[in-house]
Amino acid sequence: MHRGTAGSRLLMNIAVWESTEALATALGSPEVQRMAADFPDDIVSYPHIFEPIDV
C-alpha cells in the first residue's frame, strides 16, 4: 500500500495479476462486489492497468 504525500488522502495498492482478464474477473466477482458495497460512501476506487516503461 502506498500513500500520497503532502497531505494527500490518496492510497494506492499495487498488485501483480496474471492477466487483464484475471483482474476483470476478480473485480466482477460477487465476493469483491460484496466487500466494495461495505466501503464507506466517500471511498472511490479507480482500478488501472499499468506497464513498466523504465526503471
- Give residue-wise pLDDT tens across range 1-55: 999 999 998 899 899 999 999 999 999 999 999 999 999 998 888 888 988 899 8
Q: Which three cell numbers stand for residue 14?
A: 499495487
Domain count along the chain: 1
Range of the domain at 32: 10-37
From the CB of residue 31, how many other CB atoms can be counted at a distance below 10 Å?
Answer: 8
In the prediction, which pLDDT does 26 show?
A: 95
- The H or E element containing residue 35 is helix 30-37
Say how many residues make up the chain. 55
Residue 24 lies in a domain: yes
Inter-helix orientation angle 20-28/30-37, to 10°: 60
Distance CA 15, CA 11 (A): 13
In the prediction, which pLDDT does 38 show?
A: 93
Residue 19 lies in a domain: yes
